[in-house]
Amino acid sequence: MKNTISGLLEINKVSTSKIDQVDFDNLNFGSVFTDHMFVCDYKNGAWQTPKIVPYGPLTLDPSARVFHYGQAVFEGMKAYKDDHGDTYLFRPDENFKRINKSSERLAIPEFPEDYFFEGLNTLLKLEDAWIKPGVGNSLYIRPFVIATQASVSASEANEYKFMIICSPAQSYYSGDVSVLVAEKFSRSASGGFGYAKAAGNYAGQFYPTKLAKDQGYQQIIWTDSNAHEYVEEAGTMNVFFRINDTLLTAPISDRILDGVTRKSLIALAEKQGIKVEVRPIKVSEIVEAVKNGSLKEIFGAGTAAVVSPVKAFGYKGEHYELEKQDNSYASHFKSALMDIQYNKAEDSFGWRYKI
C-alpha cells in the first residue's frame, strides 16, 4: 500500500504486522524490531525522496565504503506512552542536531530537518501499537547514516543511506554495575571524534570492555588519553560523581559526547538547588573521596539506561565498594526524569515532544 504524505514521504505498509509474535514481557534490548523502517538515500548531490518501508534486510555492494572506512554515525532516542495513550519523545531536537554534528565530523552530508521530523512522526504513528504504556516500557529509536557508495577508494563517499529503525524496550541495565577505571586504553583523543556518535568509537571500546569483564567488571570508566589522570565517560554513558552533596561531571569536549540525558540531569539538579560542578575530575580525587567516605555515589547517564548506578570500581589493582545510599541522587534523578518522559509530571523545561 503506497501513498505520499504532504508530497514529502512515500509509505509502503506491511500487509500483516508481526507484533503478535513478540513477547513484550521478555525483551532482549535491541533484538526485536517493529514492522517498518524509514529510509532515505543520498546521491547525485542531494537527499532523495524519503520512504517508510517494511523492516527488512538491505542489499549493499561488498565495496560499500561503510565496510571499509567506517563512515557511519547514529543516534539513540526513545518514545514513551503515557497513561492516556499519548506518545512523547524527549528532546528530539537535540538528537537531530547531534546526528548532523556527528555527520559533519565524518564528512557525511547534513540531513534535512523536515525529512527527519516528518519521517519520525509518521513512523511512530504507524508503529503506535509497539509503544507500550507503563514506566520502564518504551520504543527505542535508532536513526543512523551509512556510506553506501561502491568503491574502496580511501576518501569520503558520495552516496549515503539515512535510516530509522525502532525496537521495543524495557530497562537497559538491571541492577547496579561495577566499573574498572582505564589505565591503558582510551575511548578517544583530543582532536579526534569522541564527541561524535560514530560507529568506530563504540567498536574500539569492545576489546577493553571485554578485558574488564574478564576481571569481573561490567563497564569501564574512561580516562584522558594523555596521562589517564582525569575521568571522562563510563562505558557508553556520561558519568556523574556525588561527593558529599555536590554533583560532579566532566565538561564536554572533542573527546566527550554531549549527552542529552547528561545535560537534562544537570538542569534538573540546578533547578532543585543541588550544587553541580562541571569541571575536570582527577581519578586521584575520586580515590581519595572513596577512602575518606565523601564519595557517596557514581552513576552513568544515557538514553538507553537513563541512570545506571555504580556499586564499585577498580583502579590500579584495588577494588572500592560504595555504600548504598538512602534517597540516592541516582534514584531521585531517574524518577524525576522519567516522570517528565512519561508525562507524569510538569515539564517546565519544554522537553516533551508530542507525536
Residues 34-45 have pLDDT tens digits of 999 999 999 999
Does residue 6 surpass a pLDDT of 70?
no
Q: What is the pLDDT of residue 4?
A: 45
Q: What's the CA angle centered on 7, arms 5 and 13, to 5 degrees?
A: 40
- What are the residue boundaries of the structural domains of the chain, listed by start? 2-169, 177-341
Q: What is the pLDDT of residue 1?
A: 37
Mean pLDDT of 227-241: 92
Q: How far apart are CA 159 and CA 355, in angstroms?
A: 31
Tell me whether domains 2-169 and 177-341 share a fold.
no
pLDDT level of residue 151 (50, 70, 90 thresholds) = very high
Summarised one tens digit per residue, pLDDT across range 289-309 is: 999 999 999 999 988 878 999
Mean pLDDT of 330-341: 95
Q: What is the pLDDT of residue 174?
A: 60
Supply 320's cell numbers. Answer: 572500592
Q: In this structure, which CATH number among 2.60.40.10, 3.40.50.800, 3.30.470.10, 3.30.1390.20 belongs to the domain 2-169?
A: 3.30.470.10
Supply 351's cell numbers. Answer: 522537553
Q: How far apart are CA 218 and CA 211, in angstroms?
A: 10
Q: Are 28 and 39 in contact (CB under 8 A)?
A: no
Does this model's pTM top 0.85? My answer is yes
Q: Are 223 and 231 in contact (CB under 8 A)?
A: yes
Specify whether the backbone of 293 is left (phi greater than 0), alpha (psi in -120 to 50) or beta. left
Class in CATH terms, 177-341:
alpha beta
Residue labelled with grid coordinates 539513540: 76
Q: What is the pLDDT of residue 3?
A: 43
Q: How far apart are CA 117 and CA 9, in angstroms?
A: 11
